[in-house]
Amino acid sequence: MIRLTLSEIADRLSGTLHPGTTDAAGGTIVDGPVETDSREIVPGGIFVAKRGDDTDGHLFVGAALAKGATLAIVEHPVDDPIAQIVVADAVAALGELARFVVERVRSTGELTVIGITGSNGKTTTKNMLERILSAEGETVAPIRSFNNAVGAPTTMLRVTDSTRYLIVEMGASGIGDIARLVALARPDVGVVLKVGLAHAGGFGGIESTLAAKTEMVTDLPETGVAVLNADDPRVASMADKTPARVLRFGSEVDADIRATDIAGTRTGTNFTVHAPGEDPAPVRLRVLGEHHVSNALAAISVATTLGVPLARSAAALGTLARAERWRMEVLGGRDDVTIINDAYNASPDSMSAAIKTLAQISEPGKRTIAVLGAMSELGEYSGEEHDRIGLQLVRLNISRLVVVGPEARRLHISAINEGSWDGESVYFDDMDAAYDYLAAEIIPGDTVLVKSSNSAQLRFLGDRLGDLFSW
């Protein structure tokens, strides 16, 4: 974080400063990382004692102090001898502090803020864009999927006076969430990747999801840029809802940034990217799945608006070894067995794309095995979407289906009811039983996809299978 005095922070947060020690006063300067987890504190850090569902951060102020914290932002004074700023709401204070820091850096430097949202692909796109921009200047991007009311401000607070690019991933569980994050970060560039059924149960339907994602572009400045997916009609419809300049990406012929010659293999995804006024550039992604071409185009589109030549963006993307941990992560290798661990998250769109990739990259005569868990947070759409995936598995001739967990059992039933399988689908209540089956069932040359929502935790099963077939 940038250097600020305790008084500056207290004033901005409308909080009350309690120095806590004889050597701390309003003029004391703090500039350490801001954390809400006391275990992540480093010397000089700032601890935000937020209340959680299962515990209360105020109980861990002492632990933060022991690890070297110099300031605690609290909702009531604590007995620990540390400088404290008492605020009405710790999470709101975290956001306001982030807004203050970004405003300060913007006023003195050349900071550009990029916001990214979408039902799928936010983290992958963020990683791709970070890889491109980090070669151009100091870039701050979220760790993992820090994209909510806590994670996004925590990312924003990592900027320094020399930061040139700030990437903010913006997720939502309801209408208004993205608008609040946009108000904090005030993006210069807003990216919308897709409007799908991820978390549709929480939103209350696809139209509510559309309204929530549109919040990314409605408040962009006229000098800003809205980067929109031309292949998604719902995203494309946002073009007339923003005052910003619109840049469209996709495979459509009228997209500004466009991909052609897309080809997926077991080692990655290749395509050619086109942009106005530049020579086409070949892109060699080491990330599996044609659906990641859209994410790459989004990242290239942002970089293009910031003046990065197409060829340089393409070259940078070629150095990205994986999208993210547990996202189309290629494991195994022994006996020509490929394990694709894509079980960090799952929506109908991402599940369908992963299964399509499994079918596409398998070599002739070799088997494909889909190990699937539940897609969560779909509400009233859950049953029909699990049925649709079961149908897709059969129609794409996936060799084996292994369904894990009671919440996903409908997938197994749907595949069987399709009528064209005889014993190719099996069901297990838990991961241990599934692992034992797969350890005996997998043969040389198999390609295995492990996919589920985060709550099903099949990513750990994927890791176990990866270890089993590693060199």
In the chain, the amino acid numbered 190 is G
Burial of 33 (0-12, 13-18, 19+ CB in 10 A): middle
Provide the pLDDT for residue 262. Answer: 94
Provide the pLDDT for residue 203. Answer: 58
Provide the pLDDT for residue 420. Answer: 54
Does 357 belong to an annotated binding site? Answer: no
Provide the pLDDT for residue 56. Answer: 94
Does 123 belong to an annotated binding site? Answer: yes
What is each CA distance from 319 to 59, 286, 333, in whole angstroms?
A: 43, 8, 21
Provide the pLDDT for residue 325. Answer: 82
Intervals of the chain under pLDDT 70: 21-24, 197-204, 419-422
Does 319 belong to an annotated binding site? Answer: no
**In the chain, where are the structural domains located?**
4-90, 109-317, 329-468
Provide the pLDDT for residue 471. Answer: 85
* Positive or negative: CA dihedral 254, 260, 264, 269: negative
Task: Decide if 342 contacts 326 (C-beta within 8 A).
Answer: yes
* Helix (H) or strand (E) run with residue 55 in it: none
Task: Look at residues 236, 307, 315, 243 and name the one whose alpha carbon lies nearest to residue 278.
Answer: 307
Looking at domain 109-317, which of 3.40.50.300, 3.40.1160.10, 3.40.1190.10, 3.30.1330.60 is its CATH number?
A: 3.40.1190.10
Provide the pLDDT for residue 109. Answer: 80
Provide the pLDDT for residue 266. Answer: 81
Provide the pLDDT for residue 377. Answer: 80
Provide the pLDDT for residue 18. Answer: 92
pTM for the structure as a whole:
0.86
Provide the pLDDT for residue 436. Answer: 97
Does 126 belong to an annotated binding site? Answer: no
Task: Domain 329-468: give its CATH architecture.
Answer: Alpha-Beta Complex (3.90)
Provide the pLDDT for residue 197. Answer: 65
Burial of 460 (0-12, 13-18, 19+ CB in 10 A): middle
Topology (CATH level 3) of domain 4-90: 3.40.1390
Instruction: Please tell me what DSSP assigns to residue 245.
Output: E
- Determine the Cα–Cα distance for residues 147 and 167; give it in Å rounded to an integer: 11
- Helix pair 206-218, 177-185: axis angle to 10 deg: 10
Identical fold between 4-90 and 329-468: no
Does 95 belong to an annotated binding site? Answer: no
Provide the pLDDT for residue 272. Answer: 97
Provide the pLDDT for residue 206. Answer: 82
Provide the pLDDT for residue 417. Answer: 85
On the CB side of 199, CA atoms within 13 Å amount to 19
Provide the pLDDT for residue 198. Answer: 56
